[in-house]
Amino acid sequence: MPDSNSIIATSHSVAPLELVVVPAHIDGSNGSNRAHGGTRQIRADNDIDAIKAWLARFLDKQTTFDNYRKEAERLLLWSTLQLGKPLSSLTHEDWLVYQGFLRDPKPVGRWISAEGRKYPRSHPGWRPFAGPLSASSQRQAAVILNTMFSWLVNAGYLAGNPLALSRERRRRPQARVTRYLDDEMWHEVKMTVDTMPRETPRERERYLRLRWLVSLSYVCGLRISEITSNSMGGFFRRRDRDGEERWWLEVVGKGDKLRIVPATDELMVELGRYRRELGHSPYPVPGESMPLLLPIGGQLRAMTRGGVHEIFKVIFAQTADRLSQRGPEYAAAAARMTQASAHWLRHTAGSHMANNDVDLRHVRDNLGHESISTTNTYLHSSDDARHAETESKHKIGW
């Protein structure tokens, strides 16, 4: 079995899938696992074209496409650069070696970007990895690549799936990590935000932006993609049955589905603070194109999903550092906080609403879920009642 860190010299270098040029003898045209006979369902004659045919199914799902392309190009580059063989010649033994490589990609200079930075795909500093993959990321890579290989087998491009032998039936389900912040941990995150420096204009803008982002994520339970793809023009006021003007946020969410989310008084206060800091009126006007979140400096352009994820990553890391400095009794809480990601705040919003007795139909509609369960998809909730209950029971409590 080849060593996971051995290097077989080839005439190409690390580059993104759309730019890499693989020599003809290892491009997969004659891969040892290529299917012979039968009817092929795709036109691809080499591995890169086969991967692109598989990825084409996800062009309308940007996040899925990005994740699937990342895992496919990593394996393709490793196969051709590290082993010097086509992806369509990989065996089960090669897959076992690759699993070790994901835990420790070497040589570092070839595979890992400098300081773990995320470079544009066209940048010469781009690398396939920001560092070794965590156990959960390794499992995700296996799931995605197994899906790809199975599809290529069904498409008549490959004879077999080299990952199939790794699938084992688990006798006991693994304990699932509950990916949300309990009341205590949520309080710690808010403390980290509230102790940020705000002496200079730039520090104040950074503080108010983070406070607005956390408020928006928690009160509305938005996905990161919804924060980056929607604008301030989605806010509107509507008079309820009692004659009270209430703010709402119209969101285009997953699957291009439209929903409206209660914009509570607390949320609108935070929005006003953030907008005034940027030199705008406290409340948006209908049709306003300003993104929900702006880069520091007030540039009128939407932030990337990666940029927003990085903001949350930093704030969770700072919270974990504060906890760990209190003593060994906080080690577990600090470790859990280091696992937190942006999506945890969406789960936190839903969990806290439910724990505070917000009607589950209202939680469902706020988060944009299809249903509470498969047995009660017929339930609907009044918008006015949903706003009132969200307003009264779902507080950020700065």
Q: For residue 144, give the amino acid letter.
A: I
Q: Is the peptide bond before 107 cis (omega within 30 degrees of 0)?
A: yes
Tell me, what's the pLDDT at 371? 57
Q: Say how far apart CA 294 and CA 311 lie, in whole Å.
A: 12
Q: What b-and-e string marks burial along 260-297, b requiring 16 or more CB atoms within 10 Å of the CB?
A: bbbbbebbbebbeebbebeebeeebeeeeebbbbbeee
Backbone angles phi, psi at 261, to 5 degrees: -120, 135
Contacts 24+ apart (CB under 8 A), 321-328: 322/188, 322/191, 322/192, 323/188
Tell me, what's the pLDDT at 376? 33
pTM for this model (two decimals)? 0.54
Q: Say how far apart CA 262 and CA 254 lie, in whole Å.
A: 18
Tell me, what's the pLDDT at 117? 84
How many secondary structure helices (H) and strands (E) does the chain include? 14, 3
Tell me, what's the pLDDT at 106? 92
Reported as a single tens digit per residue, the pLDDT across 262-303 is 999 999 999 999 999 999 999 999 889 999 999 998 789 999
Q: Are 280 and 269 in contact (CB under 8 A)?
A: no
Question: Tokens in use for 86?
Answer: 């086509």
Tell me, what's the pLDDT at 12? 64
User: Looking at residue 296, what DSSP letter applies?
Assistant: T
Angstrom CA distances, 205 to 158, 278, 279, 295, 317, stand at 54, 8, 11, 10, 20
| DSSP characters over 212-274 | HHHHHHHHH---HHHHHH-BGGGEEEEE-TTS-EEEEEEEE-GGG-EEEEEE-HHHHHHHHHH
Contacts 24+ apart (CB under 8 A), 88-92: 88/28, 88/31, 88/32, 88/33, 88/34, 88/47, 88/50, 88/157, 88/158, 89/28, 89/31, 89/32, 89/33, 90/33, 90/162, 91/33, 91/162, 92/162, 92/163, 92/165, 92/166
Can you say whether the dihedral through the CA atoms of 157, 162, 165, 168 is positive or negative? negative
Backbone angles phi, psi at 202, to 5 degrees: -70, -40
Residue with token string 């799936």: 161
Can you say whether the dihedral through the CA atoms of 27, 124, 305, 116 is positive or negative? positive
Residues of the chain falling short of pLDDT 50: 1-11, 168-177, 372-380
Tell me, what's the pLDDT at 2? 40
Q: Say how far apart CA 328 and CA 307 lie, in whole Å.
A: 32
Domain ranges of the chain: 24-166, 183-393
Interhelix angle 135-154/62-77, rounded to 10 degrees, is 90
Query: Which H or E run contains 88?
Result: none
CATH topology of domain 183-393: hpI Integrase; Chain A (1.10.443)
Tell me, what's the pLDDT at 175? 41
| 245-252, strands of its sheet edge to edge | 235-239, 245-252, 258-263
CB-neighbour burial class of residue 65 (10 A; exposed 0-12, middle 13-18, buried 19+):
middle
Q: Are 105 and 30 in contact (CB under 8 A)?
A: no
